[in-house]
Amino acid sequence: MTKTRSRKPKPVRGFRWLLRRNGLTLALLSLFTVSLFGQAIAGFLADKAERERTHQPTEDFRSYLVSSDFWSATGENWESEFLQMFFFIWMTTFLFQKGSPESNDPDEPKKPNSKPHGQNTPWPVKRGGWVLAVYAHSLSLAFLALFVASFTLHLFSGARHYSEELARNGLAPVSAFQYLRTSRLWFESLQNWQSEFLAVASMVFLAVYLRERGSPESKAVESAHEEHE
């Protein structure tokens, strides 16, 4: 008589399993959604007040959501976030901050960033060649692409919004290329870029001396300032 092997029951993967494994991403995306909706409401009310003050016809909330005013401001903020993440990821490959958990240790030889191939090895690694070369830098390239996309959104929406303002004053509209050469576009962009670079620099430096128990962005509370983990 042959014995049948008893199969282990597969673990139930419900909402709690999903939430535990992806809680950080889901929480941040929830905050993003709430903030974006709040921005839309506040922007709509501010635009409505401005139109009433200048005796212009008002628009409904749905029209505001597709307006150049809303998307120009949104793209302006997104581009700075993606730009600072691109530079942060890229620059940590060759620049250092002694003692910071956000940096490699400058006093230790560079650790190999590869492991032996296994069953769950991503397919680009198994494929090799140019596919692997791209995949090896895919994180920074993804943020660079997101920056280009959001900057393009800011550029075209901003040009349209600026042209609408010019039209109200009887002036000719501008193209996206013409708007690219205005000080207004670069003032809008650079005021956000500088704040993002300052925030990242503060995180890199303050993490050397300050701690947050339980956070992977922080060293252990007992660690010396000069230590890397």
pLDDT (tens digit per residue) in 193-209:
999 999 999 999 999 99
Mean pLDDT of the chain: 92
Instruction: Give dist(CA 111, CA 108) in Å, integer.
Output: 8
The pLDDT of residue 139 is 97
The pLDDT of residue 12 is 66
The pLDDT of residue 84 is 97
- The percentage of the chain sitting over the pLDDT mark of 70, rounded to a whole number, equals 92
Put simply, whether the predicted model's pTM sits higher than 0.85 gets the answer yes
Confidence of residue 221 (pLDDT cuts 50, 70, 90): very high
The pLDDT of residue 113 is 66
The pLDDT of residue 15 is 84
Q: Is the four-CA dihedral 212, 218, 220, 226 of positive or negative sign?
A: negative
Using the predicted structure, report yes or no on whether residue 122 has a pLDDT greater than 70.
yes
Instruction: Give dist(CA 158, CA 73) in Å, integer.
Output: 8
Using the predicted structure, report yes or no on whether residue 120 has a pLDDT greater than 60.
yes
The pLDDT of residue 117 is 76
The pLDDT of residue 2 is 52
Instruction: Give dist(CA 147, CA 66) in Å, integer.
Output: 21
Helices marked H in the chain — which ranges? 15-53, 61-65, 68-91, 123-127, 129-135, 138-168, 176-180, 183-209
